[in-house]
Structure 1
Amino acid sequence: MDSFSWSNPPQELTDRIFRRNSINSKDLARCSLVCTTWRLVIADIWGKNFSLLRTANTGVTRRIVWDYKNFQIETFKGCKVELVDSLFHWEAIIIGPKDTPYADGVFLLKICLSENHSLQPPKVKFLTKVYHPNISRAGRVCVEKSWCPSLTIYQLLLVIYARFSNPEPDDPINCEIAQIYKTQRIQYDENARDWTKKYATASQKSAIDWSRFLKNNKNLEPTKLVD
């Protein structure tokens, strides 16, 4: 088994996992989306020794797996997500958009999905310090007002990404920064750029493979990337 790559698990393993979770092989053949999705997730976690499939046949986990696969198909440039240690714990990278004080910054987010997903919104927290009126000092992002059961994680991250370009100072989490944004815009931009330069770098520890992602996004020179 050691001879297999984590991104290419052996066929007998995936077949055994499917059988153990009472997923009939004919059903898999009939529903290519389910088959492809689960094989993608198994490949993603193959080298991490996770036990993520014990509740594989529940509506919640099916929705999460669909959401994860959908993100791989419908992603936007400058953003990537990965599973960390369970289907309910994701990590994301967002590259700060051009023409903003956050340009080229590398921002890490932790996304914790509820056991009642998607009826309850996920908890989203920036692991990178961000100078922004809609992000708390601890990194928390309020997503309750944006969330609805039909919203995907892809769409939610698009909303968060848009706030880099268009903060909402009249609905702040950090009132002090919101006030600076409204009354001292030049100072706000300088502070945001300083924080981005200081904290939003590739030196942060992440569950995501930085090097290929950042190189593809032409964000940093390969010599500056963490291993």
Structure 2
Amino acid sequence: MELIFRRPMNPKDLGRCSLVCTTWRLLIADIWGKNFSLLRTANTSATRRIVRDYKIFQTETFKGCKAELVDSLFHWEAIMIGPKDTPYADGVFLLKIYLSQDHPFEPPVVRFLTKVYHPNIGRDGSVCVEKCSSLTIFQLLLVIYARFSNPEPDEPIDCEIALMYKTQRIQYNENARDWTKKYATASQKSAIDWSRFLNNIKILEPTELVD
């Protein structure tokens, strides 16, 4: 490395090299495990942006959420744990994220695989992210995660649930808790093995989450 930098290395240089090498090692490991489908993707502004977003997730994740590549740079899966002091507390919520070839100028398609009783999430799991096209994937998931604590009933996808939230909050909370208990479990089927993540945050039944 001293030959590359053409000067003696100092601790800061070594730290930066270590971070870069670790990030690319993780990305190459993903590529190796997915039959090189990522390498076959053209080198475009979209792929460069997505790789940058992936590197951010290796260093800047937030507690209660994690995202991984599934089979290409344009197909991600994420897991969220319902925040405390909400009807979704300790629920395990899985999401699919599909990015377009025009990313980030075209908003991604985000869909919950877990059924969620929420005014901003459709019965089919759809989430409106039209206003989030310029955000990184990290920022996008942070916005979605925040909606568990702060729903936006004036911009609903499900108008019936939004009305319940506005007019019958106690019943809304009961319904949301019931759905969380029934559907948001660690035994959901997933393309990613999240067992280590669930173990780290002490969620029960992590071994039942299968590929």
Q: 1:189-208, aligned counterparts within 5 Å?
A: 189-208=173-192
Match of 2:101 in 1: 115
Q: Which residue of 2 aligns with 1:184?
A: 168
Deviation of the 1:204 alpha carbon = 0.8
Rounded Cα–Cα distance in structure 2 between residues aligned with 1:172 and 1:128: 18
Once the two structures are superposed, the pairs formed by residues 125-140 of structure 1 within 5 Å of their partners are 125-140=111-126
Corresponding residue number in structure 1 for 2:127: 141
Cα distance in 1 for residues equivalent to 2:27 and 2:42: 11
Q: Is the 8 A contact 1:210 1:226 kept in 2?
A: yes
Distance 1:181 1:113, change over 3 A: same
- Report the counterpart of residue 156 of structure 2 in structure 1: 172
Deviations 1:117-174 (A, max 9, x none): 11111110000000000000100000112x142x111111110011000001111000
Equivalent-residue separation in structure 1 for 2:174 and 2:208 (angstroms): 25
Residues 172, 178 of structure 1: 8 Å contact kept:
yes
CA distance in 1, matches of 2:47, 2:24: 11
The percentage of counterpart residues that share the same residue type is 81
Residue deviations 1:14-61, cap 9 Å, x none? Answer: xxxxxxxxxxxx8xxxx9687664442221232232421123532211
Alpha-carbon distance in 2 for matches of 1:72, 1:36: 9
Deviation digits for residues 70-128 of structure 1 (CA, Å, limit 9, x no counterpart): 01211001111111111000000000000000000000000001100111111100000
Q: Does 1:153 align with 2:137?
A: yes
Alignment match of 2:194 (pick from 210, 214, 221): 210
Range moving further from structure 2, 51-60 or 67-76 = 51-60
Correspondence 1:3-22 to 2 at 5 A: none
The question of 1:226 aligning with 2:209 is answered: yes
CA RMSD of aligned residues (A): 2.0
Gaps of 5+ in 1: 1-25
Compute the TM-score of the two structures, normalised by the length of structure 1: 0.80
Corresponding residue number in structure 2 for 1:57:
43
TM-score, with structure 2 as normaliser: 0.86
> Offset of 1:221 from its aligned partner?
5.2
Q: Residue in 2 aligned with 1:13?
A: none
Task: Give the 5 Å matches for 1:61-76.
Answer: 61-76=47-62
Structure 2: any 5+ residue segments left out of the alignment? 5-15
